[in-house]
């Protein structure tokens, strides 16, 4: 019995030794805690989180190996890992009223991993802004067409807004933005677009704080294509307009421009609107006589194309007799011979109207007036590239 008891005890002792060995060889390794400590801000479950400057992931006693932040649709938010691997921050702002999940992985000096997860929801703003843009999505436009944005609220954080707008072109070309005041931002290349260029604009304004407490609520993609190259040159002294395609003159048309005292602007102007028929009343642009009445009121101006916000048009003219090519008779517009009602497709005005598209360039030279202001219409081409980028 004693022998049996000793044998039994000896057997248990041997078992305990083997078990400890197994723990040392496998169990302890499996349960070893990583020395790396991951921190995520904002804290899990946070509400009304700001869309910029709040989200940060860090680690002590280790390095981050992976950080994934996703919105409810599963889209990952791009971010940057610091050079030493101890912190991660998003590369762009977050959207408003959105719940994000964070999954962070880190390793300590011995390669042992640790993970941490978090979830938070961004703020819902009381005040928002959007942008009206031109040209329209899917349109084909002329080589002078900028991408122009007008914001519904004045912007006091222009860099944040610019960062949220991405423009890609095919073929690639440098595109830069320029602010006119605090509510308009135009983008263009150094020279007129190359015919056939495809332009894609991504507006990621949702969540951008454009001014204190005012956030963007717009997120969309706009694409447009540059059509054939048409640039027309009006000589206010010779009273002609040379219409050029790809640098070659395809037609020379007699014109009339601004009479003495109401000369036409000089400079590069972009067609921003086309109207087959429109009413033109001088009182709307400040042409009022001593009697307080408008100097002109023409209810049916045919083939009108807008060149400036202030009211300069290139249009059909049926009331100025033999002025075309002979003398200047307008209040600042460029007139081409036409018929009342614009029914004759063979008139110079009808032909030019049908050959033109929004975004085409009309250059006026040799007028006695000054050069048109860059923000008077889509006419930023009257600024040098250096001025534009500055």
Q: Which helix (H) or strand (E) holds 223?
A: strand 219-226
How far apart are alpha carbons 122 and 301 in whole angstroms? 53
Supply the DSSP string of 51-112, one letter for each residue. SSS--EEEEESSEEEEEEEE-TT-PBPPEEE-TTSSEEEESSPPPTT-EEEEEEEEE-TT--
Residue pair 271/352 in contact (Cβ under 8 Å)? The answer is no
Supply the DSSP string of 32-55, one letter for each residue. PPPS-EEEEESPTT--SB-SSS--
Six-digit token string for 170: 């095919």
How far apart are alpha carbons 113 and 130 in whole angstroms? 44
Residue 243 buriedness (CB in 10 A; 0-12 / 13-18 / 19+): buried
How far apart are alpha carbons 101 and 45 in whole angstroms? 10
> What residues are paired with 330 via a beta bridge?
258
> What residues are paired with 336 via a beta bridge?
316
Active site residues: 315, 333
Residue pair 338/316 in contact (Cβ under 8 Å)? The answer is yes
Residue pair 364/355 in contact (Cβ under 8 Å)? The answer is no
Residue pair 128/215 in contact (Cβ under 8 Å)? The answer is yes
Q: What number of other Cβ atoms are within 10 A of residue 110's Cβ?
A: 10
Please state the separation of Cα 39 from the chain's center in Å: 35
Query: 283 in helix, strand or coil?
Result: helix
How far apart are alpha carbons 127 and 125 in whole angstroms? 5
Nearest to 383 by CA among 100, 173, 239, 186: 186
């Amino acid at each position: 019995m004693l022998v049996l008891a000793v044998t039994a005890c000896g057997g248990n002792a041997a078992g305990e030794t083997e078990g400890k060995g197994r723990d040392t060889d496998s169990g302890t390794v499996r349960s070893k805690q990583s020395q790396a400590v991951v921190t995520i801000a904002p804290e899990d479950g946070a509400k009304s989180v700001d869309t910029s400057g709040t989200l940060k992931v860090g680690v002590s006693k280790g390095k981050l190996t992976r950080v994934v932040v996703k919105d409810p649709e599963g889209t990952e938010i791009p971010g940057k890992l610091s050079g030493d691997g101890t912190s991660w921050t998003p590369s762009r702002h977050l959207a408003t009223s959105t719940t994000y999940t964070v999954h962070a992985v880190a390793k300590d000096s011995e390669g042992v991993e640790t993970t941490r997860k978090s979830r938070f929801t961004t703020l819902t703003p009381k005040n928002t802004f959007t942008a009206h843009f031109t040209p329209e999505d899917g349109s084909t436009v002329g080589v002078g067409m900028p991408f122009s944005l007008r914001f519904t609220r004045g912007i006091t954080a222009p860099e944040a807004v610019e960062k949220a707008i991405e423009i890609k072109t095919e073929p690639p070309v440098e595109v830069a933005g320029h602010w006119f005041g605090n509510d308009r931002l135009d983008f263009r290349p150094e020279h007129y677009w190359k015919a056939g260029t495809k332009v894609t604009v991504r507006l990621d304004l949702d969540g951008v704080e454009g001014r204190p407490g005012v956030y963007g609520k717009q997120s969309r993609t706009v694409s447009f294509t540059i059509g054939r190259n048409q640039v027309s040159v009006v000589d206010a002294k010779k009273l002609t307009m040379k219409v050029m395609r790809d640098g070659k003159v395809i037609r020379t048309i007699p014109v009339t421009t601004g009479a003495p005292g109401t000369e036409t602007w000089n400079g590069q102007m972009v067609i921003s609107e086309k109207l087959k028929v429109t009413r033109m009343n001088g009182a709307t642009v400040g042409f009022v006589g001593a009697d307080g009445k408008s100097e002109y009121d023409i209810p049916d101006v045919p083939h009108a194309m807008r060149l400036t916000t202030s009211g300069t048009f290139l249009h059909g003219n049926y009331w100025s007799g033999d002025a075309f090519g002979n003398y200047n008779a307008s209040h600042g517009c460029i007139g081409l011979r036409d018929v009342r009602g614009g029914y004759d497709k063979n008139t110079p005005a009808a032909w030019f109207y049908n050959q033109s598209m929004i975004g085409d360039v009309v250059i006026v030279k040799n007028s006695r007036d000054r050069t048109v202001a860059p923000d008077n219409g889509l006419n930023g081409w009257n600024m040098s590239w250096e001025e534009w980028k500055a």
